[in-house]
Homo-oligomer: A and B are copies of this chain.
Amino acid sequence: MKTIKAAVHSLGNIGENVINSLLCAPDFECLGVIRRASSLGTRPFALQGIPDFDSLDNLEKAKGKPDVVIICGPSRQVPEDAQYYLSKGIRTVDSFDIHSEIPELVAQLDKTARSAGAACITAAGWDPGTDSVLRALFEAMAPVGTTFTNFGRGRSMGHSVAARAVAGVADACSITIPIGGGRHSRLVYVLPERGVSFADIKKKLASDPYFSNDPLDVREVKTPEELIAVADNSHGVLIERIGASGYASNQRLSFDMRIDNPALTAQVLVSCARAVTRMAPGGYTLIDVPPVAMLPGERMDHIARLV
Contacts and interface: CB of A to CB of B under 8 A. Distances in A.
Most chain B beta-carbon neighbours within 10 Å: one of A248, A256, A285, A294: A248
Nearest to A258: B252
B287 A106 contact: no
Contacts of A300: 103, 106-107
A286 to B, nearest CB: 7
Interface stretch (A140-148, A175-183, A206-214): A140-148
A140 B306 CA distance: 12
Contact of A136 (B287, B294, B304): B294
Given A128-B307, A287-B290, A254 B257 contact: yes
27 contacts: A17-B246, A21-B246, A23-B246, A24-B143, A24-B144, A102-B304, A103-B304, A130-B140, A136-B306, A137-B294, A140-B267, A140-B294, A141-B257, A245-B264, A245-B267, A246-B266, A248-B260, A248-B263, A248-B264, A250-B258, A252-B258, A254-B257, A285-B303, A285-B307, A286-B307, A287-B306, A288-B292
